[in-house]
């Protein structure tokens, strides 16, 4: 007997991309849901520990600019990350485009 079932095919790229996007969104949202309290960076955590170990510690350098709020500091950090991601994405796309151009010539 022959069955009319189609052999299982790998997921299409649209399905795979959709699942990857869903995974990224989930990884971004879950910590916001389950972790409560103040979000602080590694710098402030390190400062607390250093102060506990050696209360009279004086930093070697002072900041060049004192930012008026933590929101502005976060904005600058996120902007730096976005610019870095843009540069990495551009370079990856550039090399991929060059490789595809070479493959089309051959």
pLDDT tens digit string along 42-53? 777 888 899 999
With a cut of 80, say whether residue 18 has pLDDT above it.
yes
The pLDDT, as a whole number, for residue 43 is 76
Give me the phi and psi of 28, to 5 degrees please: -80, -35
Distance of CA 35 to the CA centre of its chain: 18
Averaged pLDDT for residues 31-43: 75
Distance of CA 33 to the CA centre of its chain: 18
Name the helix (H) or strand (E) containing 37: none
Inside any domain, residue 6: no
Quick one: tokens of 10? 């790998």
Inside any domain, residue 25: yes
With a cut of 60, say whether residue 92 has pLDDT above it.
yes
Task: For residue 91, give its domain range.
Answer: 15-58+69-105
Q: How many domains does the chain have?
A: 1
**The pTM is what?**
0.48
pLDDT tens digit string along 56-69? 988 888 888 888 88
């Amino acid at each position: 007997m022959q069955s009319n079932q189609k052999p299982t095919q790998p997921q299409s790229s649209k399905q795979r991309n959709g699942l990857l996007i869903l995974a990224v969104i989930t990884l971004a949202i879950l910590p916001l849901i389950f972790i409560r309290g103040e979000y602080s960076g590694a710098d402030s955590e390190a400062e607390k520990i250093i102060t506990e170990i050696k209360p009279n510690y004086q930093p070697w350098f002072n900041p060049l600019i004192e930012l008026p709020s933590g929101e502005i500091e976060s904005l600058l950090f996120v902007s730096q990350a976005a610019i870095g991601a843009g540069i990495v994405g551009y370079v990856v796309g550039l090399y991929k485009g060059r490789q595809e151009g070479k493959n089309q010539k051959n």
